[in-house]
Each structure stands twice: as C-alpha cells, then as structure tokens.
Amino acid sequence: MQLLLLTSALLALFRPHPANGVAIKPRNLKEVTLNIENAQVAPDGFERAAITANGQYPGPLITLNKGDFLRVTMNNRLTDPTMRRSTSLDFDGIFFTTQNSFHEGTPFVTTCPVGPNASFVYDVPLILNQTGTYWYHSQLSVQYVDVQPVDQLAISRVTIGDWWHNSSVTMLAGYVATGIVPVSDSGTFNGVGRFNGGPEVPFFVQNVESGKRYRFRIINQSARNVFTMSVDAIIETDGTPTTPMVVNEIQMLAGQRYSVVLEANQPVANYWINAPFVGGNPAVNPNQNATLSRAILRYAGAPAADPVTPMTLGPDNPNALIEANLRPLVAEAAPPSDVNITLELMVTPGKAQWNVNNVSYLSPVVPTLVKVLDGANMAADFNATENTFILPANSVIQIHFLPNDDDEAHRK
C-alpha cells in the first residue's frame, strides 16, 4: 500500500494542475477512452476468450494530426482468471520526454501495472513534429498474445499478426517447463485468418478502383511471427519517411511498420494478397498453415469471389526489399556518440530465458523510475537483474547489437 501511495503522489507531481477548479487542457487535445475488457472472439473460426479494447476486434483506431496531444483514459475491466488481469499500455514508437516517461507504459521500469477495476490516464503529446504509423498494445509480460492488439495511430490500416488458440499464461508455463517455444495456430490479416481443419472464414477483402494509387499503413502486430507481403512501393518505415523504392515483396518482423503505395494497374479481377509467415517449427502445431494467411485485392467490377489463381507464398521472381537499402527522405547525419554500449542478446538453450550481456532480467518490486525519483543514480542502487545502465544527461548513445543465432526476430 505504501508503494501505491508513493507512486500516486509522484505521478500527481507531473499531471496538469487544476486552475480555479478546472483542469488545464493542452492545445490540440484529443481525448480517448479505452475500456480493456474480456470478450469471446474467433478471428480464425476458433472461439476463445481474449482481451479487447472497448469490446472491439480489431481494436479502435486513433487518428491524430501532427502536434496533437493525445490523452487516453484506460479503464481496466479484466475479470477472466485464466489470463492476466493487470495490464499496461505501451505506445510503440512514440517519443516521450524525461518528465513524461511514466506514461511510456513499461511495467516495473517506467510505471506500475494497472490492476483490475483501476484506471490510468496516459498523456501522449506528439513532440518533435512526430508523424507516421504507430500502434499501442499491452506491455505486461506476454499478455499481448491474449490481447487483440490495438490498431495503429494512422489511417488506411493493414494489420497482420499471429493468432493463438490458448491463453498466454498456459503457453508460458509450458515454455518454462519444456523450453519449447510455442508456435501460433494461424496468422491474421486485418483480424481475419484460417487454420488447418478449421472453418473457411471469409478472407478480408480490400476494395480498389482501377487506375488509382493507394497508401496502406501496415503493422506486424505479432508476438513472434515474421510475415512476407507483396507490395509495390515503400515510403515510410517505423515512422520515418523514406525515399520510395519499387519492390514486390517485403519481410516484416514483429512490431515493424511500413507505409506502402499500391498501384491498381492490373486488369479488373480478384487477386491474392499473400502474407505467409514463419515463426518456429510448424510441426509443433498442426493447426498452422502459413499459406492460409492472406487477403483478397478486389477491383471495382470484379465478382464477389475468391481469386481463381492458386494460393502461393508470393511472386515467382521476387524483387524483395533489402532493408539496408532504405534511406530517409530527409537525410540527417548522425551526431558523434558520447557513450557506446554493446549488447549481446542470447537465449539460454532449452530454457525460457533471455539474456542481455549475460544478465536475465527480473522485474523489480519497486519500479526502476520510482527508484530514480527517490534519488538512485549509481549502479549499486539497482538490482543486478534490472540490468540498468547509468547514462549522462543530454548525451548521444550509440548501441551496437552483436549478431546472434536467435530465431525470435523482432523490431522494437
């Protein structure tokens, strides 16, 4: 109880204070309420209990303009004992200031999880003229396997992701006991998927008109799977405008985001949008069939039917994106670094244990940020398992990730 009271007091120091009984509202304020609640869903035809935002699947879209101030009131209404009932929101890719870091949403680091029947107000100012495609999701443990990942802060949305028939709590326990990483049951495209032997859930249909160009903002909201999609041109990567490149295939790691332009320049018909995925040994889960991860591109005037061409994994002669060839639209030289950090990421073979520089992270009882606010400023003030780096203020940090053989491909 003392910790909760202390945290509440600290948070109150940074929130807008009332003036004459009325809270001060930032300019360009957009207020959103998200009720995090359990619901039965069946995106690939298999019904299971899940965690949703406002009872929707996929979750509600938030659209903002450059310079807006987003305020999200999150009400935790989770009750299902088979899943975690505390939660937290992470606004993936959005910049936060030091003063506002407790809204960043990483449990036990910058904030506390929000318990059942509790609420939290996240203030998310769009600083530094930030624009692009982003998304928000649970950041508590592996909970977002159970969550219908909430859609991006963008328009023209396309979300791809892995889907799991079992609760993350059950799968994590099995992983810890056996060291065998779970494999998803299916993949979804805008909330729709199929699995081996399951019902033929209608594929998602993207309607287009011949002669027009369409911008799609794509997010891989997977917990694990890497998807490969067919597109025509890439203009934005992880929120950064890039020099357009003409390709017909892109690989998307978990958490990665792309904006693409598709030219509707083919004869009027129905076409497959291929989104096959990889993520572990499919023999572990007989439900998985990556070929079923797809959607339909339907030209105006085409019949309401599946394409007549076979389902494939992609183009015969792929002109795939080489990520190293991406260049920002506005080039900006990197400043010289003040501090250089090397991180070696390793998974302990046969165990559910990740290590960063030979340290396996364990959540502290007192969140790291609370310790900092209480005066912690030396390595000895933190648990060794927090793996905390003490950095000088206003410094440029360069991080070097050593190559490794881990198959868990993520972009965070």
Question: What pLDDT, in 10s, does the model give residues 301-327?
Answer: 999 999 998 898 888 888 899 999 998
Residue 153 pLDDT? 39
Rounded CA separation 30/160 (Å): 27
User: Rounded to the nearest 10 degrees, how much is the dihedral formed by the CA atoms of 104, 106, 110, 111?
Assistant: 100
CA nearest 257: which of 132, 397, 117?
Answer: 132
CA pseudo-torsion sign 297, 301, 302, 305? positive
Beta-strand runs (E) in 143-212 = 157-163, 186-189, 192-193, 205-208
**Residues in CB range of 194: below 8 A, 6 or more apart:** 44, 45, 186, 200, 201, 203, 289, 292
Rounded CA separation 184/189 (Å): 14
Residue 2 pLDDT? 28
Q: Which residues of 355-391 are buried (b: 16+ CB within 10 A; e: fewer)?
A: eeeeeeeeebebbbbbbbeeebeeeeebeeebbbeee
**Could you tell me the CA-to-CA distances from 46 to 139, 190, 220, 318 in Å, in that order?**
25, 16, 21, 33
Q: Which pTM was predicted? A: 0.80
Ramachandran category for residue 369: left, alpha or beta (phi over 0 → left; psi -120 to 50 → alpha): alpha
Residue 25 pLDDT? 77
Rounded CA separation 387/398 (Å): 17
Contact 126, 63 (CB under 8 A): no
Longest dimension (CA), the chain: 68
Going by their DSSP bridges, the two strands 397-401 and 339-343 should be labelled as parallel
pLDDT in tens, the chain (412 residues): 222 222 222 222 233 333 334 456 787 999 999 999 999 999 999 999 988 999 988 888 888 888 999 999 999 999 999 888 888 888 888 888 878 888 887 787 888 888 999 999 999 888 888 888 888 888 776 666 665 544 443 335 788 999 999 988 888 888 888 888 899 999 999 999 999 999 999 999 999 999 988 888 888 888 889 999 985 445 556 678 888 888 889 999 988 888 888 888 889 999 999 999 998 888 889 999 999 999 999 999 999 999 998 898 888 888 899 999 998 888 888 899 999 999 999 888 877 788 999 999 888 888 888 898 899 999 899 999 999 999 998 899 999 999 876 645 544 4
CA nearest 125: which of 149, 101, 106?
Answer: 101
Residue 20 pLDDT? 37
To which H or E segment does residue 3 belong? helix 2-14
pLDDT digits (tens, 9 = 90+) for 186-203: 999 999 999 999 999 999
To which H or E segment does residue 237 belong? strand 233-237
